[in-house]
Amino acid sequence: METMLTVDKLGKSFKDKQVIKDVTFDVRKGEIMAILGPNGAGKSTTIRNIMGILYPDEGTISFSGHEAIPRYKIGYLPEERGLYKNVKVMDILLYLAELKDYPLKKARERALSYLKKFDLEGQENSSVEELSKGMGQKVQFISSIIHEPELLILDEPFSGLDPVSQELFKKEIRNLAENGTAILLSSHQMNLVEEMCDRLFMMHNGERIIYGDMDDVKEKYANFKCTIRGKNDQRELAGLPQVERVEQDDDTSMLYLAKNVHAASWLKNLPESLSVQELSIDRISLHEIFIDIATDGNIAQKEGAANA
């Protein structure tokens, strides 16, 4: 896959505090790449450097191999929401398209089609201040893609959206990627990230913790978890081989298994005395990996945790 954006050894300090260090990743045509990390990890600082809002102290950023980044080929939905309040929806979309040198006739057609797609048909003459927060966010999303960007950077696109709007955004983001847009997405909604993204870059305290394919990352860092419904004694479950931790909620027990457990052999060796109404075995979710990292757990020690 063709590389659209390359971030290489990026470093940035504010006064004498280094907030990002040696940040290296790329975003490829047609993929959804996640940039993740706890609050204060350095995601927005990284994005602001890519957008040229901040200048890096170290490292380089290049677009299709060139260091001069063509802003008109990039779409950006910033974390801070806000459009000019007393301007009509269509005027603002056309104004932003014009800033990117995009043909106005085409921009108008795209605006109308996207307003329809996002259930905002007929709102083109409403002023932004008349819109609800979610409606405003849809307009801001449209403004980030009106000019058909080749690289789209979305900072928390789902925050504040109702489930129906969330689905609309998800569908459109997928659709854009399928049509070749390179997408860099920052979100704290791990279930959506897990569902949508092809690769991820997870950072903590300004540095890389995990970088790789979603499936590889899950295989490498996500241990198995066995969920059993049935009346069982927690201490007995905790004493089973290769069980690291047991959580119980009424009749449901979650057994967190050690790394490299062979699931089929482990299941075969369960005692016959166990009460089992239902049993499932899955890998822990990205959400659980994230919490482990954010709380300085030990799933991904920095050394050896990185690969693209």
Q: What is the CA radius of gyration of the chain?
A: 23
Q: Distance between CA 299 and CA 221 in Å, rounded?
A: 6
- Residue with Cβ nearer ligand ATP (188 or 283): 188
> Helix axis angle, 133-145 relative to 89-99, nearest 10°?
30
Nearest distance from residue 35's CB to ligand ATP, in Å?
9
CA angle 130, 131, 133 (to 5 degrees): 135
Can residue 225 be called a binding residue for ligand ATP (CB under 6 A)? no
Q: Is 41 in the site for ligand ATP (CB under 6 A)?
A: yes
44 binds ligand ATP (CB under 6 A): yes
Stretch that binds ligand ATP, among 36-44, 115-123, 129-137, 279-287 (CB under 6 A): 36-44
Does 36 interact with ligand ATP (rule: CB under 6 A)?
no
**Is 42 among the residues that bind ligand ATP (CB under 6 A)?**
yes
Residue whose CB is less far from ligand ATP, 23 or 92: 23
**Which stretch, 38-46, 170-178, 216-224, 242-250, contacts ligand ATP (CB under 6 A)?**
38-46
Per CB under 6 A, contacts with ligand ATP among 45-84 are 45
Q: Is 159 in the site for ligand ATP (CB under 6 A)?
A: no
Query: In sequence order, what are the beta bridge partners of 73?
Result: none
Are the CB atoms for 58 and 64 separated by under 8 Å? no
Q: Does 39 bind ligand ATP (CB under 6 A)?
A: yes
Residue (199 or 204) nearer to ligand ATP, CB:
204
Q: Which residue stretch of 35-43, 112-120, 239-247, 298-306 sits at the interface with ligand ATP (rule: CB under 6 A)? A: 35-43
Tokens found for residue 74: 């990039």
User: By CB under 6 A, is residue 14 in contact with ligand ATP?
Assistant: yes
- The DSSP element (H or E) to which 289 belongs, if any, is helix 286-294
Task: Report the nearest approach of ligand ATP to the CB of residue 191 (Å).
Answer: 17
19 binds ligand ATP (CB under 6 A): yes
What one-character-per-residue DSSP string does 226-255 give? Answer: EEEES---HHHHHTSTTEEEEEEETTEEEE
- Total site size for ligand ATP, rule CB under 6 A: 10
CA distance 146 to 144: 6
Residue 44 or 232 with smaller CB distance to ligand ATP: 44
- In the complex, the residues that contact ligand ATP under the rule CB under 6 A are 14, 19, 37, 39-45
